[in-house]
Amino acid sequence: MSTQDIGFRQNLELTNVRMHPLVFVLVMFINCLTCILYLCFSSGRYIENHGVIHNIWFNTTTQEKKQYYMTQFVDSYWDNGSLPIWITAQRQGLKAGSLHFPGTAATYRKEIVRVRQVEPRFFDHSNETDWQLNIDKVVGEWFHQQDLDFVSLYFGEPDLVGHKYGPDSPERKEMVKQVDRTVGYIRDKIQQHGLTDKLNIIITADHGMTTVKRGGTVNEIILSKIPGFSFRDIKFHLVDYGPSGMLLPKEGKLETVYQALKGGHPHLHVYKKEEMPARLHYSKHPRLLPIILFADPGYVINGFLPVQFHKGEHGFDNEEMDMKPFFRAVGPDFKKNLVFAPFETVHVYPLMCHLLGMKPEINDGHLDDTKGMLVPKINPEGDGNEMDTQFQVVIGLSAMAGFLVLVFIATISNAWCKRSRAQNSSKLELTAGEERKDMKQTSF
Ligand SMILES: [Zn+2]
């Protein structure tokens, strides 16, 4: 997907912020129901560490699979030792909410996010009126009336329309305009409720999208047609879900399956899970099946027949430019009109924790990678020196941990609010982070 088309520039650069007696953070996530990076944003951990390795819950013994909607309610699938930021915020005395964000429905160590809205069973993810109603709830009720500190808010577009019509289609460009209008709506609502100087907003996604190759000249990947490969050797499989797949061979058949598929198609990459490139962070979790497949950009992996008809897909190698998401941020703690260096999605988690004045859980990110987009705090003692201590404290905590991820979330920071009040700083400016043209998706 061309990040040039993500037109948040206009609406994200409108605000003028002077100082903040309170600091909120709003993180917005514009994403996809077929993506597995949600917990990367909300926990700061790579997929192999948080364990939500697929949108589909599965049981290799019973062959049972649950589609994404029902997978949301399988607590054991989400609650793997990593805590989403809402739970950690609550445990540290903050008030958190989440609307439609993947993982919202689950219970983590017997705790749920206390303010939440889980999407209905057959929710129309494209309805702009519904989007506005949800924004009214988040900004008007949750932030303004209930004084929440952090909210994550999720939109299923322009992902769905990108899948259906392709990333370069007129339909998707129209949806991007709708998203842009919605960003403007959010900012208007924030202003109406007097929150402009108090709310930091992060708007991001967890992947890009590329056009699927179609037509008679395309050598489609159909596993059953690869010589030497047979589904009779497979105990359980997750294929026909776009450009990646996993296989569990029957006892004693791993080498047979692996050797048949390896080199079996010029656009198919085949790995034993322990051989997966470390940079993809998709090998260490026990839920990952022994053989992992992914395709070159534009190709999808079919099992028996070409049954996938999406015109746009994601899930390819995160080094591909088309897979990069964007990142925008605006609010009292962000520098204004800043174009920032690329960073991985996992680094957003420590950034959010820092804005909230929270101690992060163990994670894969580092505040070092994002703190340059923040307005330096000025020492209230009046000596003109930046207050770097709080950065150092949080960085230290992050460094001990080591992981991180991204979401579409709104955050409000009590702890930092208190610090900000004490500092009585009048030099803070609004920051608008620019789009991140080669920001890495944290997994494929
Ligand atoms: Zn998607």
Distance from residue 370's CA to the centre of ligand 1 (Å):
26
What is the pLDDT at residue 27? 55
Distance from residue 342's CA to the centre of ligand 1 (Å):
22
pLDDT tens by residue, 360-380:
999 999 999 999 999 997 655
Closest CA to 198 of 5, 337, 368, 23: 23
Least confident range from 209-218, 296-305, 392-401, 406-415: namely 392-401
What is the pLDDT at residue 38? 64
**Portion of the chain with pLDDT greater than 70, in percent:** 76
Q: Dig out the tokens for 175 from the structure.
A: 């949806």
Q: Does pLDDT of 155 surpass 50? A: yes
Distance from residue 315's CA to the centre of ligand 1 (Å):
8
Which amino acid makes up residue 360? P
Q: Dig out the tokens for 45 from the structure.
A: 């951990």
Going by the DSSP 8-state scheme, the letter that residue 323 receives in this structure is: G
What is the pLDDT at residue 434? 33
Give me the long-range contacts of 266-271 (CB less than 8 A, separation at least 24). Answer: 266/219, 267/219, 267/221, 267/295, 267/296, 267/299, 268/221, 268/293, 268/294, 268/295, 268/296, 268/299, 268/301, 269/293, 269/294, 269/295, 269/296
Confidence of residue 437 (pLDDT cuts 50, 70, 90): very low
What is the pLDDT at residue 225? 97
Q: Does pLDDT of 29 surpass 60? A: no
Distance from residue 380's CA to the centre of ligand 1 (Å):
47
Closest CA to 243 of 262, 267, 261, 217: 267
Q: Does pLDDT of 398 surpass 50? A: no
Distance from residue 300's CA to the centre of ligand 1 (Å):
13
Strand, coil or helix: 191: helix
> Is-contact 430 386, C-beta < 8 A?
no
Omega into 158 within 30° of 0, i.e. cis?
Answer: yes
Q: Where are the alpha helices (DSSP H) in 66-195?
A: 68-71, 75-78, 85-91, 128-135, 159-165, 170-192
Between 408 and 345, the higher pLDDT residue? 345
φ and ψ of 373, to 5 deg: -90, -5
**Portion of the chain with pLDDT greater than 90, in percent:** 66
Write the CATH number of the domain with boundaries 10-209+317-373: 3.40.720.10
Q: Does pLDDT of 428 surpass 60? A: no
Residue 221: CB atoms within 10 A of its CB come to 24
What is the pLDDT at residue 19? 24
Q: Where are the alpha helices (DSSP H) in 335-388?
A: 348-356
Give, in order, the Cα–Cα distances in Å from 88 to each of 10, 97, 201, 356: 34, 12, 19, 11
Residue range 402-430: mean pLDDT, rounded: 32
Active-site option among 3, 34, 182, 210: 34
What is the distance between the alpha carbons of residues 169 and 174, in angstroms, rounded to a whole number? Answer: 9
pLDDT tens by residue, 183-232:
999 999 999 999 999 999 999 888 899 999 988 899 999 999 999 999 99
What is the distance between the alpha carbons of residues 319 and 8, in angstroms, rounded to a whole number? Answer: 24
For residue 130, count CB atoms less than 10 angstroms from its CB and return exposed for 0-12, middle for 13-18, buried for 19 or more: middle
What is the pLDDT at residue 216? 85
Q: Dig out the tokens for 299 from the structure.
A: 């190709």
pLDDT tens by residue, 270-314:
999 999 999 999 999 999 999 999 999 999 999 999 988 999 999
Distance from residue 102's CA to the centre of ligand 1 (Å):
13
Any idea where the domains of the chain sit in the sequence?
Answer: 10-209+317-373, 221-309
> Is-contact 38 72, C-beta < 8 A?
no
Q: Does pLDDT of 349 surpass 80? A: yes
Residue range 335-350: mean pLDDT, rounded: 94
Write the CATH number of the domain with boundaries 221-309: 3.30.1360.180
Half-sphere exposure of 325 (CA within 13 A, CB side): 33
Q: Does pLDDT of 10 surpass 70? A: no
Summary mean pLDDT of the chain: 80
Q: Where are the alpha helices (DSSP H) in 3-147?
A: 9-12, 38-43, 47-50, 68-71, 75-78, 85-91, 128-135
What is the pLDDT at residue 377? 76
Least confident range from 129-143, 234-248, 388-402: namely 388-402
Distance from residue 359's CA to the centre of ligand 1 (Å):
32
What is the pLDDT at residue 378? 67
Q: Is 34 a catalytic residue?
A: yes
Inter-axis angle of helices 348-356 and 414-423, to 10 degrees?
60
For residue 50, count CB atoms less than 10 angstroms from its CB and return exposed for 0-12, middle for 13-18, buried for 19 or more: buried
Q: Dig out the tokens for 227 from the structure.
A: 């010589």
pLDDT tens by residue, 95-129:
999 999 989 999 999 999 999 999 999 889 899 99
pLDDT tens by residue, 30-71:
434 344 566 777 899 999 999 999 989 999 999 999 998 999
Q: Does pLDDT of 233 surpass 80? A: yes
